[in-house]
Amino acid sequence: MRFPRAGGVLLHPTSLPGPHGIGDLGDEAHRFVDLLAEAKQHLWQVLPLGPTGFGDSPYQCFSAFAGNPFLISPDRLVGDGLLVADELAGVPTFPDGRVDFGAVIPWKEALLGQATRRFRERADGALAAAFDAFSGAQGWWLEDYALFRALKDAHGGAVWSDWPADIAGRNPDAMRRWRMKLTDAVSHHKLLQFVFFRQWDVLRRHAGDRGIRIIGDMPIFVAYDSADVWGHPELFFLDDAGKPTVVAGVPPDYFSETGQLWGNPLYRWDVMAAQGYAWWVERFRTTLALVDVVRVDHFIGFTRYWEIPVGATTAIAGRWMPGPGEQLMLALRDALDDLPIIAEDLGLVTPDVEALRDRLGLPGMRVLQFAFGGDPTDRFLPHNFEPHCVAYTGTHDNDTTLGWFQTAPDHVRRYVQRYLARDGHDVTWDLIRAAMASVADTVVIPMQDILNLDSKSRMNVPGTAEGNWSWRLRQNESNADAFGRLKEMAELYAR
């Protein structure tokens, strides 16, 4: 589908400011929506919203359907009567400008535990009825997810394949026994999902009222240690012990000389096809109930994917395998009608990827940081854009634009200066202007670039397991002058 000409900002909710150590869905999120609207922006792009596991990465979640409980606003829990103000009085001193997950997680888990206990003890009738309605509507994924999380807690956080064989293999008697044994823990995780979806719905409605559409993000693969793989092992390449036989990644590219070894289990597309791609239909349906547009991460994987043998130490040893291609997308279109999708078509794009994207009428991505190698026909240069695309200065996987320019080779820096006819002293905003002035229907700028921050504010370094996802706005860092410039460009270039 074609999107209207518009601009927006990339900022994950964990990066919002606030007193509780991590951004959440409370007042600061609502203020950010208002800030976007005042700056004449019409899009807010976020990263995946699921409950994070290994490395705190939003691309390695415990579920493809659940929300991240650590995004729940404690202040709004007070408003619901699930916490009292005094319980927020002892907030630890968290660092300013980054999320210290090691400190935040235990503190917030204790707070959320208190909230769900109070709910079970004395939730008012309307709130209890709303929870019952949510549980009924979402039970098809919620039951497995809540039991999965309760089982992980009961087994010290162990990967599901290391649990006792009967429950790891979902023996019906074991499932019944554990569900009874862990009744309160299962209820706790269900309630957290209810609260997350409730707070997110309020935020999304506020965004809609201010003319802001939310762009979500869907990783093509799911984490091995997830309710999805435990609940549907038949959909993945696993051995008799439930361990992956092959895993996902990408070959060497401009992010890494040895490729990226993601380690996610790979889909059995033949089994999914025989089921009419029902799991994928529900995944898209659930995601599109949360956001207005979905950026499909690694869209290339629908045409072909990089299969890496288990035990490989890098991604170099992989091989290309065919994906479901148009068959999956037609099944989605038949079930869902509209497909408001952005195809993340970065990396080794081949003609079959472009053909599938174009047949489906999906916009691809254009990232300016990839543009300045010296080839005037490069598809990432603005003069080669087509209107039906989404332009970025950089993504969550890139350095900030200032950091990129400061460390770029001399020939790249010179090409940037020649192309933009600028001396480079304000290079971040030079690239923002180039994107905003382009014919691209959609432009999304990372918040770090709006604030002209350097490499210390980078969100993620692909191929590294530690130190990522922690960048956060400092209190009052939403610079009014920067958003004034953004507003001026939105008006100047009809966004």
Q: From the candidates 228, 297, 399, 449, give the one annotated as an active-site residue.
A: 297
DSSP result, 255-288: TBTT-EEEEEEPB-HHHHHHTTTHHHHHHHHHHH
Tokens of 63: 């579920």
Instruction: Check if the beta carbon of residue 400 is closer than 8 Å to that of residue 360.
Output: no
Q: Which helix (H) or strand (E) holds 392?
A: strand 389-392
Q: From the candidates 144, 217, 344, 345, give the one annotated as an active-site residue.
A: 344
Catalytic-residue membership of 344: yes
Task: Report d(CA 354, CA 121) in Å as an integer.
Answer: 55
Instruction: Check if the beta carbon of residue 141 is closer than 8 Å to that of residue 63.
Output: yes
Instruction: Check if the beta carbon of residue 247 is closer than 8 Å to that of residue 265.
Output: yes
DSSP result, 60-110: SBS-SS---GGGS-HHHHHHTTSS-GGGGTT---PPTTB--HHHHHHHHHH
Judged by DSSP in three states, 186 sits in: helix
Work out the widest C-alpha separation in the chain, in whole angstroms: 71
Instruction: Check if the beta carbon of residue 72 is closer than 8 Å to that of residue 62.
Output: no
Task: Report d(CA 67, CA 146) in Å as an integer.
Answer: 12
* Residue 68: alpha-carbon gap to chain centroid: 11
Q: Which helix (H) or strand (E) holds 350?
A: none
- Sheet hosting strand 43-45, strand order edge to edge: 341-343, 293-297, 213-219, 43-45, 6-10, 442-446, 389-392, 364-367
Q: From the candidates 217, 397, 430, 449, give the one annotated as an active-site residue.
A: 397
Task: Report d(CA 151, CA 147) in Å as an integer.
Answer: 6
Q: How many CB atoms lie within 10 A of CB 308?
A: 26
Catalogue the active-site residues. Answer: 297, 344, 397
